Amino acid sequence: MGFQAGFDTSHYPGDSQMAWLKANTNLTWCGFYLAPAPSHGDTGWMNTRATLVAQGWGLAPVYLGQQTAGPGSHIITAAQGSLDGANAAQLAGQAGFAQGSYVYLDVEDGSAPTAASQAYIKAWAQALAQQGYSVGIYCSHVIAANLFSLLQTLELNATPRIWAYKVSTTATHAYTGSIATFPTPDPAGSGYVSASIWQREQNCTLSLPGAPVTAMTVDLNTAGVGDWSG
């Protein structure tokens, strides 16, 4: 099975920057932030799907819902999970993602999920699935197996997918590899053997001579072919 390089960044880089990246690197897919979401108000990605598909990008829609720690909103209840799951489905449809597409709930906290956060995640997943979308979770590799097992207790319309992060540093740092050929290791290297996507670097600054914007800070990922959305 082949693997493909991707990236995510919370703010939309711009049409010309995305076209340059597609033409000059081996990046083939990217995260797509659904908004306004409880912990992500920037709607910059929302009207870009048609342009990005025309450029040849694969897209992984991400929803930043309630967070247990750090920045963002912190209403961790089952009732809020139902509201947020329905909201994620509505935003995915608004952005142009067909039913059946995977939408990833962003779980930033890598510590063991509490009873309240488990209830929130389950309610979010059920509400999303009821609207015809498939459930994905972005989370630490440390809790990936736990959350996958949690989702398996639900009657969902497709096998859940895990986008696992395992990185050596979260500090902003310069990327020193080739921008033409980003590595594409097996997502199993994330530490969660069944991961569909591995976020393997966070906050790395790319030097992009000749690009409309010559430096940009992104997270780097690798995924199985087609494992980001459809």
Give the E-state strand segments of the chain in sequence order: 3-8, 27-33, 58-63, 102-106, 134-140, 161-165, 173-174, 197-207, 215-224
Alpha helix segments (H runs only) across the chain: 15-24, 49-55, 78-95, 115-130, 141-152
Please name the amino acid found at residue 172: T
Of 70, 85, 228, the C-alpha closest to 154 is 85
pLDDT tens for 11-33 read: 999 999 999 999 999 999 999 99
pTM of the model: 0.97
Query: Do the beta carbons of residue 63 and residue 84 sit within 8 Å?
Result: yes
In three-state secondary structure terms, 174 is: strand
pLDDT tens for 137-165 read: 999 999 999 999 999 999 898 999 999 99
What are the chain's domains?
Answer: 3-224 (3.20.20.80)
